Amino acid sequence: MGRVTRRIFLGLGVAAAGGLAVGTWWVRAPHDNPLEDGLAEGETTFNPWLKIAEDGTITVIVPRAEMGQGVTTTLAALVAEELEVPLSAVTVDPGPADPAYHNAALLASGAAKPWATGWTAELARDLAGTGAKVLGLQITGGSTSTIDAYETMRRAGATARVQLVRAAAARWDVEAAGLRAEDGAVVDPASGERLAYAELAAAAGALDAPGDVDLKAPEDWRLLGRSLPRVDMEAKCSGAPIFAIDEELPEMLHATVRISPRFGVGAASVATEAALKVPGVLKVVPLETSFGRGFGVVAANTWAAFKGAEALEIEWEPADYPADDAAQGAALAEGLASGEGFEAMAEGDAPAFLASAPADEVLELDYEVPFLAHATMEPMNATARLAGPSLEVWTGTQAPGLVRSLCAAAAGLSDGRVTVHQRMMGGGFGRRAESDAAVYAALLARETDARPVKVTWSREEDMSHDGYRPRARARIRAQARPGEGLVALDVRVAAPPLIASVMARHYPSLPAPSADDPMVEGRGAPPHAPPHTR
């Protein structure tokens, strides 16, 4: 991914510097509106984030994953504010998996330190954001949902508002400048006439979108900056079936998985006889993916699938990494002492400064954190149905585009043959940026004769197959002078690779970067860092 991204950035640089008009146009051109092909009777779409129906239903597409952080409310409010409608008038939909919903802020946030200013930092962020667009990275993560949507979704609402006002002006044969939008309608103050958006939507949607629009000033906001009731509050309080684990489909089968608890290896041997004798168990399916190797148990119900998985007699192959806490701790200690690795950041000369410092001014401390599972409240799960040349997947995911492409590969289909139905999540925290649950469901759907299959992980399986926060050890040496405070800081971190691990699971054919920057993302030189820092 690092090489691909650098290649894209190089191409963008050439396009900008050399004036390659075609390349520049392609990079700058907006993605097609993915809503146009799936409109219901009487619906009009204005852009990828908004639909208005002739019955008055206003649908805002919130393409970021709702996992309890309230993003559906915040992003819907961005559109509603500029559209001049109350939040209660809006219906929220997660929308399809599509590159139109790429998260430019996610890559941009890693291109330059948050506190960095100046043209080089802005250029790095712009290039990274454009790279996300070209790659079509539709991901929820890094606390970037609102940052990414703040202007984009406000413009979506404002653009539609302008089109609706123009449509009303044409209907009344008056100047658009004399009209105003309020509470889901366009009003003519001179005549007192009023047209609801529902009456104008079809005509407004046929107009060309304005090239630029004025956004409301903060002092004119009625929704943003205020405490708002969450749009999903009623559904959550009433126990509505809004989570992926609630999915119920006709003729649905159920399944679970037992994947090797030793990462990177599979089964040395397996006996399936006892599992197949469990009432309700239909079949045991070998699974081999970049996420893990093991077995899926398909059954008439989840309990039977769980009991069948427990009955599998498996001897797992040994792992090629230290097998217990003590051995892993020793490996981290060896890493700290080795002097190997990459230098994430250096200013001044911290090692030399500390070497010459008086002993009573130097502090040395070691810190360690363990592997941690995300432990989401809702266990990992996904439902899939493979019928003819088409695959449907129902799941809660932070990366629907990635789910679509990986499930397509698992089912032997093109991306266009896969539909991802996004569901709310009972917790995500980054865990559901992984696509393993959906990929296993897609593979098992190949074994169920076009019947949908819901794959629910046991809690034990969930906890032992996380994309863990890596175990790490850090050694910090610092010098503090009386009256001056901190003057030198030298930090070494030893940890298993994070990006290389993610790459191996999601992009196994691509090389991993040599520098695993996210493992030390607190590394930078913020304004309070001492002059000698490494």
Structure confidence by residue, pLDDT tens digits, 28-47: 678 899 999 999 999 999 99
Cross-strand pairs, 365 = 476
Residue matched to tokens 């920057």:
517
Q: What is the DSSP letter of 533?
A: E
Closest CA to 169 of 147, 148, 149, 193: 193
pLDDT value at position 2? 42
Report whether 216 contacts 68 (CB < 8 A).
no
Name the 3-class secondary structure at 190: coil
| Alpha carbon separation from 291 to 205, 219, 411, 465, 524 (Å, rounded) | 44, 50, 16, 9, 32
Mean pLDDT of 254-268: 96
Whether the CA torsion 514, 518, 522, 527 is positive or negative: it is: positive
pLDDT of residue 311: 98
CA distance 452 to 258: 20
Cβ pair 32, 151 in contact under 8 A: no
End-to-end Cα, the chain, rounded Å = 27
Report pLDDT digits (tens) over 415-445. Answer: 999 999 999 999 999 999 999 999 999 999 9
H/E stretch holding 200 reads: helix 197-205
How much is the pLDDT for 67? 93
Contacts of 252 (CB under 8 A, 6+ apart): 383, 451, 452, 453, 454
Could you give the CA distance from residue 463 to residue 482 in angstroms, rounded to a whole number? 48
Examine the pLDDT at 277 and tell me if it is beyond 60. yes
CA angle 173, 178, 183 (to 5 degrees): 100
pLDDT in tens, 490-516: 999 999 988 888 999 998 888 887 788
Distance CA 399, CA 408 (A): 14
| Cα–Cα distance, 262 to 255 (Å, whole number) | 22
The half-sphere exposure of 40 on its side-chain side, counting CA atoms within 13 A, is 8
pTM of the full predicted structure? 0.91
What Cα–Cα distance (Å) separates residue 456 from each residue in 126, 246, 288, 380? 41, 11, 18, 6
* pLDDT value at residue 297: 98
Q: At what angle do helices 2-18 and 119-135 cross, to 10 degrees?
A: 110
Tell me what pLDDT residue 12 has.
47
Using one digit for the tens of pLDDT, what is the confidence trace for 134-148? Answer: 888 899 998 999 999
* CA separation for the pair 181, 194 (Å, rounded): 9
Beta bridge partners of 287: 294
pLDDT at 23 over 60: no
- State the pLDDT at residue 151: 97
H or E element, residue 9: helix 2-18
Q: What is the pLDDT, as a whole number, of residue 494?
A: 95
Rounded mean pLDDT of 406-413? 97
Report d(CA 282, CA 176) in Å as an integer. 66
HSE-up (13 A, CA, CB side) for residue 268: 7
- CA-angle at 519, arms to 517 and 520, nearest 5°: 75
Residues with Cβ within 8 Å of 149's Cβ and at least 6 positions away in sequence, in order, are 64, 74, 75, 78
Rounded CA-CA distance 287/259 in Å is 8
Q: What is the DSSP string of 465-495?
A: T--PBPPEEEEEEEEEETTTEEEEEEEEEE-
DSSP letter string, 208-254: PPPS--PPPPGGG-SSTTS----TTHHHHHTT-S-BGGG---TT-EE
Q: DSSP letter string over 415-442? A: GGGEEEEE-B-S--TTGGGS-HHHHHHH
> Per-residue pLDDT for 115 more than 90?
no
Q: Are 507 and 1 in contact (CB under 8 A)?
A: yes
Q: Are 299 and 257 within 8 A, CB to CB?
A: no
Range of lowest pLDDT (297-301, 345-349, 520-524): 520-524
pLDDT band at 104 (very low <50, low <70, confident <90, very high): very high
Burial class (CB in 10 A: 0-12, 13-18, 19+), 315: exposed
What's the rounded Cα separation, in Å, for the pair 82 and 99? 24
**Residue 173: helix, strand or coil by DSSP?**
coil
Residue 78 CA to its chain's centroid (Å): 19
Instruction: Report whether pLDDT(17) > 60.
Output: no
Run of H or E residues at 279: none
Beta carbons within 10 angstroms of residue 303's beta carbon: 14
Give 90's strand partners: 58
